[in-house]
Structure 1
Amino acid sequence: MSCFASRDSLLVPALKKRYGKTHWFGKELIRSCFWDNRMELWSVLAEILLLVGLAFAFGTLSKRLRQSPIIGYLAAGVVAGPVLFNKNAVTTMAELGVDLMLFSIGLEFSVSRLKAMGSRILGAGVLQIVLTALLFVPLLFLAFPLGRSLTLGILLSFSSTAVVLRVLIENTMLDSVRGRIALAILLVQDLAVVPFLLVLSFFNPASQETHILIQAVKTVAGAAGLIFIFYLAFYQMIPKLMMTRGFFAERELVVLLAILSALGAIWGAHALGLSPALGAFIAGMLLGESPFASQIRSDIGSIRILFLTLFFTSIGMLLDPRWMLSHIHLVAISTLLIFFIKTLAASGSAFIAGLTRRQALTTGITLAQIGEFSLVAASTAAQNRIIGEEILTFVVGVTVLSLFLTPYLVVYAQPLAGFLLKRLAGERSIPEEESRSGAPDMVCGICIIGFGPAGQRVAEALMKKNWQPEIIELNPISAKKAQDMGLIVHQGDATSLDFIKHCRIEGFRVVVIAIPDPSSAQTLIRHVRTLSSECILVVRARYDITCQSLKAAGADILVNEENLVGEKLAEALSAVMEKDGTWEMACGIAGSHAEPKPSKES
């Protein structure tokens, strides 16, 4: 308050002196400008604090009840909704959370990763969306016009990436057969969200076909321009900046660059009159090919979590508890019907992709819920008057109930699939392994963290034996050396747990930590052991005094630098002393007078 008061006392006399007492710049105007802005700022901050606090409390409670924290965030919005009076500000920030989520998803969609998924898996994802829409549209057409039925059919085809992946990872199921196929279908769904949101953003039942066509052409042209701008920024400017000596060592600058890339892409799309979600996704895809994509994804993690939490709470604010209680029977029946249809569509898609009946049905049950992007699409459709507010409320209610049941469906999908196949098809209930011994599949034999001189020598020795290690390196110059050697490189800060998670460090059989700093090495060991207890950790110990702490942290094999240096010095000294012409040196070390070295003949 003192800051605003002092500003008021200084500005008002100065303005009066310049413009006079009767000028419209008066004390009341200045005071109202500063005071109103200040009050609005603090009121919005108070409401965000309330939402985040409630989200933390309900998220913690949900976790104790073995539910996804997202359920707690939705509940926080339900509780906080009636007492908030700045909902527009909260909703705006929530939309930013969706854009940041799409930016992160775009980072996952590098062209190389799409190729690695294979046409069969990508086809299964597309087929799941098409089959789900085809099954829903005839039923919806009984009550709604065709356009609205098609919109609802498509938005109901999206499953929850956030909840399903979290449960699969927590239960070490992500690397199982159904985990991999479910992940592929979810990624295809996320990819389909972007064009679907684009269509909804400029479509309106009252709009003429010519107007829609013009909007589509503008969107395509704007997207092309945006891709060109992002290409110049992400492939020409940022890599050169990253290669600047010492830049990557300043972690604050790297974090700021990551946030600037994400928010700049969102704002750039908005400035060109395009969907911010489109801009975020395109920027993420372009950055996905860069070596520092994993680091950027890690650096924006905290801010993304904040805005996504606000997104889920804002969705909860749309739910009317009294309406939910009075229509609980309709919501429950609709949820069961949606579970049945989506299980049927996803199972059929997985079966056509080559999975067994049991694996396909397990995958279908895993993806039977309605996802967070269904809520985004429904909200966009309501804003454009494609669907009414009552339909939006119904979609929110069904989504909340389906998300509440999702953790149980994912965990018990396999026994439930076995039970259904036994009852319906007479198949014997033979359990299939979710994963080998609960451990993730090994993506590569060896990972080297740190590509300085020590890491380079390790890589060269391995490559001579036809082993291709993967490299994690912060310094862009060292990372470039590894790329020139034909190695896969993850550029970023390995001491970040989120970063090495994205590098799938738990999938390596051997991890070599070749960085010199003992404290960073100790942090790395703990992070790797948090993610994997199976891999072998070979660690560089620069000082003898640090060996005990590194061993206690979880290192399997320690290479003591001081011992090695001592041994090499002793070997070098012995070699020198054994050479011709060093007789005087040997005698001096022995403390005796140097006599002429006896000849070989004598």
Structure 2
Amino acid sequence: MGHLPKLIEDLALILVAAAITTLLFRRIKQPLVLGYIIAGFIVGPHLSLTPTVADTENVETLAEIGVIFLLFSLGLEFSFKKLMRVGGAASITAFVEIIFITVTGYFVGKAMGWTTMDSLFLGGMLASSSTTIIIKAFDELGVKTKQYARIVFGVLVVEDIVVILLMVLLSTVAVTNQFEGTEMLFMVGKLLFFLLLWFITGIFLLPTFLKKAKALLDEETLLILSIGLCLGMVVVATQVGFSAELGAFIMGSILAETTKAEKVEHLIKPVKDLFGAVFFVSVGMLIDPAAMVEYRWPILWVTLLTLLGKCFSTTLGALLSGQPLRQSVQVGMSMAQIGEFAFIVAALGLSLGVTSSFVFPVAVGASAITTFTTPYMIKFSPTFYNFLVRILPGKWESRLSNYSTSTQKIQAESNWKKVSKSYLSIVITNGIILLALMLLSLKFLQPFLNGYIAEDNTLNIVTLAVSLLVATPFLWALMTKGPNNMSYKELWLDRQYSHGPLLILEISRNIIGVLIIAFWVNQLFSGTVAILIAVSITIIVLFLFSKRIQRFYQRLEGRFLINLNAREIAAEEMNSSSDNILRRHFKPQQELSPWDAHMVDLEVNPQADYVGKTLEELGWREKYGVNIAYIKRGDRIIYAPGRTARLFPFDHVGVIASDEQMQAFKPVFDAKEHADSNGQIVEDIVVQKIVVDEHNKLKGLTIQNSGVRERTNGLIVGIERNKERIINPNSTTVFEWGDVVWIVGERHKIQKLNKVSGGI
């Protein structure tokens, strides 16, 4: 017999255990992550009653691959533009919560006598909530359409990216053991530099490559290419000094901006689910029941910190962002749990060998408890709000209400804010590209040319000339490209107040350009020579080649913007012009927030009893106070539909309502029509035949008048007569003796009719 590697045996054991627990946890409607962890405990070394995994080293390797694909999949769902669209309310809420809970987690760890590194990783574990658990609880409680849910989802998006950055910082601190402020600032700057550089480069190159190779990319090749890009970026990130998880996330976020994002996400899901299950099972294998009992008090303190600390800090952040007290409380009580990232952060600490073994059971124990408490926290948030209103002084409540109203009235950005953003974008984007080109010229170009040019000065001059030739378009953009928006033009026309500050901005960015060039040249020549060359290059860029460089840069910028907006462009091409008008000009979340109203997109159930009725017949506005903003039917959208507009299956309806109105209206919208046959399934719809004879008395009747359709709830699809077949007969066709009639309908009704006709 052939020898079977232990890894295959272990993998079989892991997946069978995971499958069984998955079925059980689906049955009891609990998160699958906890099921995987329990499966890991069952096959782990701490339970002797069941088979145990033998080759733990290989399983750990598979678990690392699982983390990579989990982060890659998260990047595909994330998109940096999605972060930009989150809005100020969610961003402020998230940052207040993350800062508070991370710092508090560190001090709670120190108070329990933990080491500095254990305490740091504890703060990192508490920084994120569970998207899976929150969405599941929202669905079960029917609150997904409420206004505060939008803020919760935005906070989750911000948490994901911040926790990725925290993982990178924690791993760097763990490896270097450096805690100085300057070292931390350098790490943050290095991280942001490479993040932006990879994103800019990826967006410029990858979508164009996918477009060129479109004809060659079937599902198989696209899957292989995606995994190859993911793992390639993992290698690049680790070579630069960052974690593999960051590389996977970055590549996922780059692919998320391409038109292939949905397809890649669909193809990668089975791979992610497989290796992700292995990872969470490997987490469960590390659980030691004796350790959980021994560290029951740390588990209790961390659980209380999660429930109370995250609830308080998120509520505070929502209040500071301008949300009403009721919504702030609901947001805070929704976020009080530990997410799946806690296990990834804890696994990172163990793999680096910088955290204690008990950190894992503490994270798992606290996560399990807060998972079960989340639905109750969400459910009782209105009750807790009413309690707060009763005990808060009236002045406090009034001030909070006034603060919320005044904050929400700030809708439009000032011209100076828009112009400042434009200048900042130009300087940061082009500055990063120039620094990247400088690093490439010094690390790769100069050593390459050194093999052909022996004399040092000649080598430096050639290196500088070649690298600056490539960098010229970006130098021009950094120093002379103007903001392309109306706000700049409006400010420029205001000569009395705007020319001075605008001139300062122009001078400042030119100084930045000169300094970058001087620093670049200083790496190759002396300081005095560097300044002279920098000024000379600046004059050449600004005056001699500006038009040619401008045209070239605009082509580069155009390519980048097309690639960046590829998904939106493709979506707009599929939508009608009215849909575009709606999305550009109708912003209910901003315009309606002072009235505590928001717009929710709902899909018409094909079994709803109101299908086919007009809005006037339904009378929803009069009964429930809601308004229909639009009806989207396929690629067509009806904006502000009239009273004669009808609703059809799978229409998307934009409903404007407050939370209270939506709570009363949603059950009516979701109600299904009661059919005669309950529990009808597809298998009950069959094709059967009857014979026209003296028993059923169909002879001489037309199909329309025979009542066969009504009696069988079916459709006559064929008649066999004198060895001839009539396919899809007309409703005026007359039955004759001996006709064999083929009917598609409900099995039991056709059988009943068949018995009457004597069978066949």
Both proteins in one fold, TM over 0.5: yes
Number of equivalences: 425
Residue deviations 1:510-555 (CA, integer Å, cap 9, x gap) = 24279xxxxxxxxxx99999xx9989xxxxxxxxxxxx99xxxxxx
**Which residue among 25, 49, 55 is the counterpart of 2:12?**
49
Query: 2:362 maps to which residue?
Result: 394
Q: Does the 8 A contact of 1:335 with 1:398 survive in 2?
A: yes
Q: 2:148 aligns with which of 170, 178, 185?
A: 178
Give the CA deviation at 1:81: 1.0
The structure-2 alpha-carbon separation of the partners of 1:326 and 1:262, relative to structure 1 and needing over 3 Å to count, comes to same
Query: 5+ residue gaps in structure 2?
Result: 46-51, 395-569, 585-600, 605-629, 637-647, 653-665, 671-684, 687-760
Q: Which residue of 2 aligns with 1:194?
A: 164
Alpha carbons of 1:256 and 1:146: their partners in 2 closer, same or farther (altered >3 Å)? closer
Q: 1 CA distance for matches of 2:107 and 2:232? A: 42
- Paired position in structure 2 for 1:489: none
Q: State whether residues 77 and 313 of structure 1, in contact with CA within 8 Å, keep that contact through their aligned partners in structure 2.
A: yes
Q: Name the structure 2 match of 1:110.
A: 79
Contact 1:366–1:413 under 8 Å retained in 2: no
- Please give the per-residue CA displacement for 1:219-239, whole angstroms capped at 9, x wherever unaligned: 976985686567556532553
Indicate whether 1:406 and 2:374 are aligned: yes
Q: Which residue of 2 aligns with 1:77?
A: 40
* One-letter identity of the residue aligned with 2:362: F
- Equivalent residues of 1:44, 1:89 under 8 A apart: yes
Q: Deviations over 1:76-126 (max 9, x none)?
A: 111111211222222222222222222233234434322221233212111
Letter in 1 for 2:381: Q
CA contact (8 A) 1:71 1:404 kept: no
Equivalent in the alignment of 2:90 = 121
Asked whether the 8 Å contact 2:319–2:325 carries over to 1, the reply is yes
Query: How does 1:210-289 map onto structure 2 within 5 Å?
Result: 213=183, 235-244=204-213, 246-247=215-216, 250-289=218-257
Q: 1:322 aligns with which of 290, 303, 307?
A: 290
Q: 1:225 to 1:205 in 2, by over 3 A?
A: closer
The letter for the 1-side match of 2:137 is V
Q: CA 1:349/1:237 → structure 2, altered by over 3 Å: closer, same or farther?
A: closer
Q: CA deviation at 1:192?
A: 1.1
1:128 to partner: Cα distance: 0.8
CA distance in 2, matches of 1:509, 1:87: 55
How far is 1:330 from its partner?
Answer: 5.5
Structure 1 distance, partners of 2:224, 2:669, is: 35
1:149 paired with 2:112, answer no
1:304 aligns to 2:272 (yes or no): yes
- Could you tell me how far 1:304 is from its partner in structure 2? 0.9
Out of 239-248 and 102-111, give the one that drifted further: 239-248
Q: In structure 2, which of residues 632, 648, 653 is the aligned counterpart of residue 510 of structure 1?
A: 632
Residues 441-460 of structure 1: pairs in structure 2 closer than 5 A? none
Q: Which residue of 1 aligns with 2:60?
A: 91
SS at match of 1:371: coil
* Structure 1 letter corresponding to 2:325: R
**Does the aligned pair in 1 maintain the 2:83–2:157 contact within 8 Å?**
no
Q: Which amino acid aligns with 2:580?
A: Q
Residue 280 of structure 2 is aligned to residue 158 of structure 1:
no
Please tell me whether residue 130 in structure 1 is matched to residue 99 in structure 2. yes
Q: Secondary structure at the match of 2:634?
A: strand
Q: Do the aligned partners of residues 327 and 113 (structure 1) sit closer, same or farther apart at CA in structure 2, a change above 3 Å counting? A: closer
Deviation at 1:425, TM superposition (A): 4.6
Alignment check: 8 A CA contact 2:76 2:252 kept: yes
Taking a change above 3 Å as real, the CA distance of residues 49 and 417 of structure 1, as seen in their structure-2 partners, is farther
Q: CA 1:237/1:200 → structure 2, altered by over 3 Å: closer, same or farther?
A: closer
Match of 2:22 in 1: 59
The whole-number CA distance in structure 2 between the counterparts of 1:320 and 1:146 is 23
Cα deviation, 1:3-40, whole Å, max 9, x if unaligned, reads xxxxxxxxxxxxxxxxxxxxxxxxxxxxxxxx6xxx43
Deviates more, 1:400-409 or 1:301-310: 400-409
- Closer, same or farther in 2 for the Cα pair 1:227/1:74, shift >3 Å? same
Q: Partner residue of 1:331?
A: 299
Bigger relative contact order, structure 1 or 2 (CA pairs below 8 A, ≥6 apart): 1
Secondary structure of the residue aligned to 1:254 is helix
Question: Hey, what's the Cα distance between the residues in 1 that align with 2:203 and 2:140?
Answer: 34
Deviation at 1:277, TM superposition (A): 0.9
Is residue 380 from structure 1 mapped to residue 348 from structure 2 by the alignment?
A: yes
1:386 offset after TM fit, Å? 4.1
Structure 1 residues 196 and 221: alpha-carbon distance in aligned structure 2, compared to 1, 3 A threshold: closer
C-alpha spacing 1:234/1:118, structure 2 compared with 1 (3 Å): closer
**CA drift at 1:354:** 2.2
CA–CA distance in structure 2, aligned partners of residues 99 and 528 of structure 1: 38
In structure 1, the gaps of 5 or more residues are 3-34, 428-450, 472-485, 487-503, 515-524, 536-547, 550-602
Equivalent residue, structure 2, for 1:203:
173
- Counterpart-to-counterpart distance in 2, 1:367 and 1:527: 32
State the Cα distance separating 1:368 from its structure 2 match.
0.8
Matches within 5 A, 1:470-489: none
Q: Structure 1-normalised TM-score? A: 0.60
Q: How far, CA to CA, are the matches of 2:195 and 2:319 in structure 1?
A: 39
SS of equivalent residue, structure 1 residue 291: coil
Q: Residue deviations 1:148-167, cap 9 Å, x none?
A: 53442343232122322343
Larger Cα-atom Rg: 2
CA distance in 1, matches of 2:74, 2:97: 19
Alpha carbons 2:89, 2:318 under 8 Å: kept: no
Counting aligned pairs with the same residue, the percent is 25
The 8 Å contact of residues 59 and 71 in structure 1, kept in 2 or not, is answered as no
Contact 1:182 1:366 in 2 (8 A): yes
CA 1:224/1:528 → structure 2, altered by over 3 Å: closer, same or farther?
Answer: farther
Report the Cα offset of residue 145 of structure 1: 5.5
CA distance in 1, matches of 2:196, 2:305: 41
Q: Which residue of 1 aligns with 2:505?
A: none
SS at match of 1:85: coil
Question: What is the one-letter code of the residue matched to 2:254?
Answer: L
CA contact (8 A) 1:127 1:349 kept: yes
**Superposition deviation, residue 198 in structure 1:** 1.3
In 1: Cα distance, 2:216 partner to 2:631 partner? 32
Compute the TM-score of the two structures, normalised by the length of structure 2: 0.49
RMSD: 4.3
Residues in 2 aligned to 1:299 and 1:408: alpha-carbon distance in whole angstroms: 36
Residue identity matched to 1:510: K
SS in 1 for 2:632: strand
The 1:154–1:181 alpha-carbon spacing in structure 2 relative to 1, beyond 3 Å, is: same
